[in-house]
């Protein structure tokens, strides 16, 4: 019994979501400008349209009409492909992310032998028929059983957009900026994937729809694995090149960066890719840890409930993005070596230990609240170890002696 696939529904959904995502990106830039302004005691753009609401349209028109310059020294093919890669991989990752109410696809014990496969399973067929008849599912590619891995794989491809952009620009500053940015991205992908593995283990599936269904029964994952949520949040901030990890973007203010040789629409594509990435990863965080479209007292079905659930997931995502924007104006930026040290020395071991705790709890069948306790214990232990590591070891003087200091001044 096969899952149904409706060609026209999918096409329409793709078209609608492409439009919605790109429109949301444009308005997110506007929200970012307004939020930045309000935090800095000023008013953001407010001239174009009421309260500046047509500003993104003005920005879009500007990018469309701006002159496309291709400098002479660039490698033309990669120069033109790189922003396209950045934007398209970010959009592609959205294909498996549910943005509205979904049902979990029915489970089945996969047949291990030919006899088992030949034997029909009527219960499973019945469930699949019910699943097929369900209302429209708010995900472009439903029942992809490797959903989370697909998202991470495709977002890893977006690193190519940056590397190719820096390389093809034929500019040493672009090259260094691109290398730094790609080093940051690939080192933060590892703790990002590992922090999600705890959630995946608890819900027995990589399928986002099943993960949401698990949270509907058992409670949101942020309650049981707050440390994993925090790790994922930090890694998402690093993946999207947002402060406090925006050293590649800060380099633009200082010297160059992989954006240097890009103008008009190609530049807009890079930013579209970045904001789409932000949207996709905050949807992921909401789905993995914050319960997706689930709201505690909202269990009914019907058109009103569907609209409400859509609104709930959209609201959670928007609140998370507003949080990212507020964090941007709160914390100072990491230096590059501090950034890499954070990823490899702090986040990855924490993610590994978190995974071990989840494995232990799941194997022994204990209650999930042990995981919450272990998260706090791990966090405090990590802080303690960092503190202890800073203290001077005995036998080595903490201050240089006065004589050596005076010798330096001669």
Partner 1 sequence: MPLTEQEIKWVEEPKIGLVEQLYLPAIFAGLQTTVKHLFQHKITQQFPEQKPKLPANYRGVHRLNRDEQGRVKCVACYMCSTACPARCIDIVAAPSPWPDREKYPEVFVIDELRCIYCGMCEQACPVDAIELTTLYDLTGMSREEMMFDKEKLLSVFDETVKAGTDPIRSRGGKLGVASEQPAGEALPMSSTAPS
* Contact map string, positions 343 to 382, toward partner 1, x by CB under 8 A: ------------------------------------xx--
- Give the shortest CB-324-to-partner 1 separation in angstroms: 12
- Give the shortest CB-41-to-partner 1 separation in angstroms: 5
Cβ count within 10 A of residue 116: 11
Q: How far apart are CA 162 and CA 79, in angstroms?
A: 10
Residue 52 DSSP label: G
Sites for partner 1 among residues 287-326 (CB under 8 A): 326
Segment near partner 1 (CB under 8 A), from 36-44, 55-63, 280-288, 309-317? 36-44
- Give the shortest CB-367-to-partner 1 separation in angstroms: 26
Ordered alpha helix ranges (H), 204-262:
208-218, 221-224, 226-239, 247-254
Cβ count within 10 A of residue 202: 21
Q: Is 329 in the site for partner 1 (CB under 8 A)?
A: yes
Cis peptide before 192 (omega within 30 of 0): no
Comparing CA positions, the residue from 23, 210, 179, 32 lying closest to residue 107 is 210
Nearer to partner 1 by Cβ, of 369 and 384: the residue is 384
Segment near partner 1 (CB under 8 A), from 32-40, 129-137, 261-269, 287-295? 32-40
Q: Is 399 in the site for partner 1 (CB under 8 A)?
A: yes
- Give the shortest CB-263-to-partner 1 separation in angstroms: 29
First to last CA, the chain: 87
Number of shown-chain residues binding partner 1 (CB under 8 A): 25
Q: Cβ(24)–Cβ(279) under 8 Å?
A: yes
Rg (CA), the chain: 24
Token pair of 119, please?
A: 């034997």
Q: Is 42 in the site for partner 1 (CB under 8 A)?
A: yes
Q: Is 393 in the site for partner 1 (CB under 8 A)?
A: no
Binding-site ranges for partner 1 (CB under 8 A): 35, 38-43, 46, 326-327, 329-331, 379-380, 383-384, 386-387, 399, 402, 405-406, 409-410
């Amino acid at each position: 019994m096969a899952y149904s696939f409706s060609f026209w529904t999918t096409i329409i959904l793709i078209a609608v979501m492409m439009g919605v995502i790109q429109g949301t990106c444009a308005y997110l830039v506007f929200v970012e400008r307004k939020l930045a302004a309000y935090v800095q005691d000023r008013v953001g753009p407010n001239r174009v349209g009421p309260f500046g609401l047509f500003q993104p349209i003005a920005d879009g028109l500007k990018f469309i009409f701006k002159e496309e310059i291709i400098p002479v020294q660039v490698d033309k093919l990669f120069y033109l492909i790189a922003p396209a890669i950045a934007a398209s991989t970010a959009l592609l990752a959205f294909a498996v992310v549910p943005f509205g109410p979904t049902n979990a696809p029915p489970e089945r014990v996969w047949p291990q032998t030919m006899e088992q496969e030949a034997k029909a399973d009527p219960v499973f067929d019945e469930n699949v028929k019910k699943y097929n008849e369900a209302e429209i599912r708010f995900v472009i590619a439903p029942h992809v059983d490797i959903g989370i891995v697909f998202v991470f794989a495709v977002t890893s491809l977006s690193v190519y957009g940056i590397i190719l952009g820096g390389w093809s620009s034929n500019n040493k500053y672009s090259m260094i900026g691109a290398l730094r940015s790609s080093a940051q991205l690939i080192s933060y992908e590892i703790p990002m994937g590992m922090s999600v593995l705890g959630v995946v283990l608890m819900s027995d599936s990589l399928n986002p729809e099943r993960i949401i269904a698990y949270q509907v029964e058992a409670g949101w994952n942020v309650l049981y694995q707050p440390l994993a949520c925090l790790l994922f949040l930090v890694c998402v901030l690093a993946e999207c090149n947002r402060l406090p990890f925006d050293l590649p973007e800060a380099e633009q203010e200082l010297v160059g960066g992989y954006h240097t040789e890009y103008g008009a629409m190609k530049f807009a594509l890079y930013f579209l890719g970045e904001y789409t990435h932000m949207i996709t990863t905050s949807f992921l965080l909401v789905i993995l840890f914050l319960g997706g479209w689930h709201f505690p007292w909202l269990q009914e079905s019907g058109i009103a409930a569907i609209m409400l659930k859509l609104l709930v997931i959209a609201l959670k995502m928007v609140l998370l993005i507003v949080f990212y924007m507020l964090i941007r104006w709160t914390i100072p930026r990491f230096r590059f070596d501090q950034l890499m040290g954070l990823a490899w020395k702090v986040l990855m071991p924490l993610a590994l230990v978190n995974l071990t705790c989840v494995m232990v709890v799941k194997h022994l069948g204990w209650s999930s609240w042990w995981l919450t306790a272990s998260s706090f214990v791990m966090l405090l232990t990590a802080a303690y170890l960092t503190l202890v590591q800073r203290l001077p070891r005995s036998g080595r003087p903490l201050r240089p002696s006065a004589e050596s200091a005076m010798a330096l001044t001669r």
